[in-house]
Amino acid sequence: MNMDYHKINNLSGWICAAISTTIYILTMEPTTSWWDAGEFIAAAHRMQIVHQPGAPLFLLLQNVFSLLAFGNPERIAYWMNFGSALSSGLTILFLFWTITALVRKMIWQAGAKLTSMGLLQIMGGGAIGAMAYALSDTFWFSAVESEVYAMSSLCTAVVFWAILKWEARADDPGANRWLVFIAYIMGLSLGIHLLNLLTIPALALVIYFRKTTKVTLAGVTKTFLIGCTVLAFILWGVVQYLVKFAAYFDLFFVNTLGMGFGSGAVVFAICVVGALGYGIWYSMQRAKPILNIALVCMGFIIFGYSSFAMVLIRAKANPLLNNSQPDDAFSFLWYLNRGQFGSEPLVGGPYFDSQLIDIKQGSNEYRKGETNYEVAGTENHPVYDRTTLFPRIYSTRDFHPQGYRAWLGLGEGEQPRPVDNLKFLTAYQLGHMYWRYFMWNFAGRQNDQQPLISSYSEGNWISGINFIDQWRLGGQDKLPEAAKTDPSRNAFYFLPLILGVMGLIWQLKRSRMDMAVVGLLFFFTGLAIVLYLNQSPLQPRERDYAYAGSFYAFAIWIGMGAVALADLLKRSWNQRLAVSVAITVGLFAVPILMGVEGWDDHDRSQKYMARDMARNYLESCAPNAILFTYIDNDTFPLWYLQEVEGVRRDVRVVNLSLLGMDWQVRQMKEPAEGYEALPISMADHQFAKGTRDVLYYHDYGIQDSVELQKLLALLLSDNPSDQLVYSNGDRRNFLPTKNFKLTVDKEQVLKHHVVPEKWHDKIVDTMFWTYDHDMVTRSELTLMDILVHNEWKRPIYFTATMPTSQRLGLDDYLVSEGFALRLMPVRARNESGAGHLVNPDNAYENVMHKFTWGNMKDAPYLDPTSYALVGQSLKVFSDTAEMLITEGRREAAKDVVNRAVQVLPERIPLVGLAGQYPVLAAQLYELGETAKANALVERNVRFLDEQLAYYAAIAETKPNVEGQAIRDSLVALEQFAFAAEAHGQPDQQRAARGIFDRYRLHFFGS
């Protein structure tokens, strides 16, 4: 029976893996997706350097998968996504074996005979738990795109499975090879993601429980602390301090001994290898087994960690994507330490409204010079007037203070108190950013709309049980049809959660030690991450991927819950019936239900939005253009399209966020792999790290606008008389005025066809504008340099989605040509002062013949990021049509609005999106497309009526936090009414006006 057990266990595990892998392949995205995937695919294909702290092993493995495309660039992303799907399927394999190993220990005693029903309990529990995780929202999302989290989950699954293999064989000769294997996998996982390390405290408990003769609280506590110490040692000692020591060795060898860069790092590496080798030899000679296994494991961790050599090797080659350019010891250290992103305070720190009163200087920071390392500045440690222990409300960036106040209910000017840290931890960091995700996976999800501030109508968890959802959220009796049919609405009726809690209780009763191990895994890969990340409000995207390990642990309990259900039923039924019913019910109530509910919002097989929108950004640009981008989603998909599919490599994509780094400016100064260099005049020493990082504005009372060239010369001057001395002794350049001007060389403008011929008479002699910041970062300084020295030779564009604050104040001279705004020396504001002038010839050609639309009309599911681009697409259509109408080109305008109706999705899930449709409706009326306009108005008015009824129902029992959505809905209704009335459509006008009047009175009383 033992041999049969292992065969059945292996076969059942592989069947679960095959089923889940098949599901992932059927639902995976066929090309790149949003966020980091575009960067990862581009970097893996061409062996380049991704953002800090890097993922070299992931890139190497994904490069292998890309070979399955057999040279077809359009299939490379598909096969890299396949790599994630396969990794995720293998994760399910090891999860199945983990569950069966744990359950087997509790229901199959040594020396006893395993019955067929006992075998079914073990296998059924393993299948239910493994497939529940396979079809959980968070894991499924990561499984179908080329991101690190699929492979990271595989590493977590392997090490937890391996510790159970060691536990079962701990008394056998050579059993410790499993510990060495675990160490090696952990070392390798460092080249994918650090999340795998969080299993260490749980692994330490397994070892303690297996080796001790008597379990005590003191022993458990000591083991837990040892596990945390090992975790900290690897996380900081190995990952960071090994490289830090190597960097300072290199500093001594280069600056003191006069040797070449890297010589000290090589000597340090030899010393580390020599010390490990000697330690292992010593432990063998002196018969010290614990020291021996510790050193061998450390050696394998470092060996696995050596995948980061790829970063150094490829950085030396200076590929196009060379984030941080980590080609020397100190830049490599900065790269690993995520220096670009900063850090969050954990033990002590300021409040968000604390005032900076001093800056203490720490140790020196170094940069690579011509022949030695140069001091680039010092580590600055700010000192604040008010600090607190355990700071949770600390960030002053962007709109974070307003976010804190909204979550805590603090009035403007009201000071936060120490207790507010705990309130924010409970309400936002735990409640909103962990437990909400937990319930998404195991209870149900209302929709996928990301609420930046707590909302009853967006992004909450639901159960599908009406009276419970009504009590929590309200409005369930008035739920709009769009909400009911929203693919992202998933109802699990608490069934996965209930089964998981049953499994937790069952394991607690049967084996407290094993329950402690799984519980520690659950805590460290979930709640401990919440404490460590210390997330600020207004996150740009949902962050549930960080907690996948915690949901993995809960899936183990779900599998055990099926076994617990069988044991419960055995009290009333015979064993065969009880086990059969329990496993059948468990399968249908959890993984099958989760799969059926989740399929539509995880099916990305027809989704091309990220790739096609990237193409639209690039196709908006004239040949040889410079395109300034700002965030991940208007940058990474473009990198993918250029680097993998080879589309529009004449356009130089410049991310303004990265342009604030000296390494990015250096790279942009040089041509690279077919891309032309940017017209940057600054010498390297003028923008090197520690030089002109930030230059502040000091008002010198200059009334007239100053030529940008003169301001640039002042900002770059090394003459002490052009600099200010600050109280701390620093001498810096400064900006004396915000009134800029740029004299226009009309001959150059005409020569390079910057302005359409019909606008030649509108070309201005001088461009005047007001700079809109109180400081000049390296990014703005470089942008000024480009404006001065480009001399209109290359077209300059900004993505239309870029915040206005990032455009240097140039909005008056930006002309829309689709998804990008072109810098032109013409007054580009329309008569109302809002919006941008449109170049109708280029925009029409782009909209009708060049742009692709991501299958947005027919895709079974569009995520929130994609829907935001639907709104941007609508704006491109309506702005282009409006300009064509203004010029009297009605047939061309009709082509554009009909194209909009043809490609835009009919289903409108967002009020903000519906609020943009009145413009298109008015244009359809204006151009004689009355039937289409009426259909558009009727559909949207019906949606808005249902939506407002829903908000009204919520307001009956809950505080009304949907105020902006209500106002947007009413504005949209009024605009539809105006459009219908202006074009003689009384039925549509009355319908829209009636609903508007009714809800305006209901919500605002007038």
In this structure, are residues 550 and 133 in contact, taking their beta carbons and an 8 Å threshold?
Answer: no
Q: Is residue 835 left, alpha or beta, with left meaning phi > 0 and alpha meaning psi from -120 to 50? A: left
**Alpha carbon distance 810, 771 (integer Å):** 8
| 822, 839 Cβ separation under 8 angstroms | yes
At 63, the amino acid letter reads: N
Q: How far apart are alpha carbons 501 and 668 in whole angstroms?
A: 55
Band (434; pLDDT cuts 50, 70, 90):
very high
What pLDDT sits at residue 1006?
64
pLDDT digits (tens, 9 = 90+) for 393-405: 998 888 899 989 9
Please provide the distance, in angstroms rounded to a whole number, between the alpha carbons at the two ends of the chain. Answer: 79
DSSP assignment, residue 477? Answer: G
- Token readout for 443 is 């209870």
pLDDT for 968: 84
What is the mean predicted confidence (pLDDT) over 651-659?
A: 93
Task: Indicate the range of 221-235, 377-391, 702-716 predicted with least confidence.
Answer: 377-391
Distances (CA, A) of 789 to 629, 651, 708, 727, 745: 20, 18, 11, 35, 12
- Which DSSP string corresponds to 240-277? IIHHHHHHHHHHIIIIIS---TTHHHHHHHHHHHHHHH
Q: 836 φ, ψ to 5°?
A: -120, 150
Q: Got the DSSP string for 519-549?
A: HHHHHHTTHHHHHHH---SS-SS--GGGGHH
Res. 651: pLDDT tops 90 = yes
Bridge-based pairing state of the strands 739-743 and 706-707: parallel
Q: How far apart are CA 565 and CA 563, in angstroms?
A: 5
Structure tokens at 850: 């060049």
d(CA 182, CA 586): 32
Structure tokens at 442: 């195991």
* Beta strands 731-735; 775-777: pairing state: unpaired
Over residues 755-772, mean pLDDT? 91
Give me the mean pLDDT over the 967-981 stretch.
90
pLDDT digits (tens, 9 = 90+) for 93-105: 999 999 999 999 8
- CA–CA distance, 130 with 556 (Å, rounded to integer): 7
Q: Is 915 a residue whose pLDDT tops 60?
A: no
Instruction: Name the pLDDT band for 955 (thresholds 50, 70, 90).
Output: confident
Categorise residue 492: left if φ over 0, alpha if ψ from -120 to 50, beta otherwise.
alpha
- In angstroms, the CA 646 to CA 74 distance is 10
Dig out the tokens for 399 from the structure. 């709109």
**pLDDT band at 1, cuts 50/70/90?**
very low
Spatial distance between the Cα atoms of 440 and 461, rounded to a whole number of angstroms: 5
Cα gap 481→821, rounded to integer Å: 38
Is a pLDDT exceeding 70 seen at residue 832?
A: no
DSSP symbols for 271-323: HHHHHHHHHHHHHHHTT-HHHHHHHHHHHHHHHHHGGGHHHHHHHHH--S-BT
CB count within 10 Å of CB 714 equals 18
Q: Which domains does the chain have, with CATH numbers?
A: 2-312+494-602 (no CATH), 343-416 (no CATH), 612-832 (no CATH), 838-1006 (1.25.40)
Cα–Cα distance for residue pair 372/261, rounded to 1 Å: 7
Listed range (375-379, 408-412, 555-559, 749-753) with the worst mean pLDDT: 375-379
pLDDT confidence of residue 108: 82
Arithmetic mean of pLDDT, 359-379: 85
Residue 771's H or E segment, with its range, is none
Judge whether 116 and 577 are in contact, CB under 8 Å. no
On the question of pLDDT at 830 being above 60, the answer is no
Instruction: Evaluate if residue 910 carries a pLDDT over 50.
Output: no
Query: What 3-state DSSP class applies to 68?
Result: helix
The first and second tokens of residue 141, run together, are: 């999302």
Report percent pLDDT > 70 for the chain: 97
Range with the poorest average pLDDT among 113-122, 893-902, 982-991: 113-122
Question: CA–CA distance from 480 to each of 158, 905, 942, 952, 1003 (Å)?
Answer: 45, 18, 10, 12, 18
pLDDT at 911: 44
- Bridge partners for 367 per DSSP: 374
- Region 364-374 average pLDDT: 87
Q: Which residues contact 935 (CB under 8 A, 6 or more apart)?
A: none
Beta-carbon count within 10 A of 363 CB: 7
Burial class (CB in 10 A: 0-12, 13-18, 19+), 795: buried
**Tally of CA atoms within 13 A in the half-sphere of 708 that contains its CB:** 26
pTM: 0.91
Sequence-distant (6+) residues with CB within 8 A of 939 are 906, 908
Q: Inform me whether the pLDDT recorded for 439 exceeds 90.
A: yes
pLDDT tens digit string along 691-747? 888 889 988 888 899 999 999 999 999 888 888 887 666 788 899 999 999 999 999
Ordered alpha helix ranges (H), 170-262: 177-189, 200-211, 217-232, 242-251
Per-residue pLDDT at 870: 86
Token readout for 70 is: 């057999």
Query: What per-residue confidence (pLDDT) applies to 500?
Result: 96
Q: What is the rounded CA–CA span in Å between residue 990 and residue 993? A: 5
Contacts of 261 (CB under 8 A, 6+ apart): 250, 254, 328, 329, 368
- Segment (H or E) for 854: none
Closest CA to 261 of 316, 207, 221, 211: 316
Consecutive H or E run containing 913:
helix 911-914
Query: pLDDT averaged over the chain?
Result: 90
Strand partners, 444: 491
Answer whether 319's CB lies under 8 Å from 381's CB: no
The tens digit of pLDDT for each residue in 837-896 reads: 899 999 999 999 999 988 888 887 888 888 888 888 888 999 999 999 988 999 999 999
Whole-number Å distance between alpha carbons of 446 and 490: 7
From 592, 545, 494, select the one nearest 134 (Cα to Cα).
592
Q: What's the average model confidence in pLDDT over 298-318? A: 92
Q: Per-residue pLDDT averaged across 164-187, rounded?
A: 92
**Rounded to 5 degrees, what angle do the CA atoms 218, 221, 225 make?**
140
Rounded to an integer, what distance in angstroms lies between the CA atom of residue 73 and that of residue 77? 8
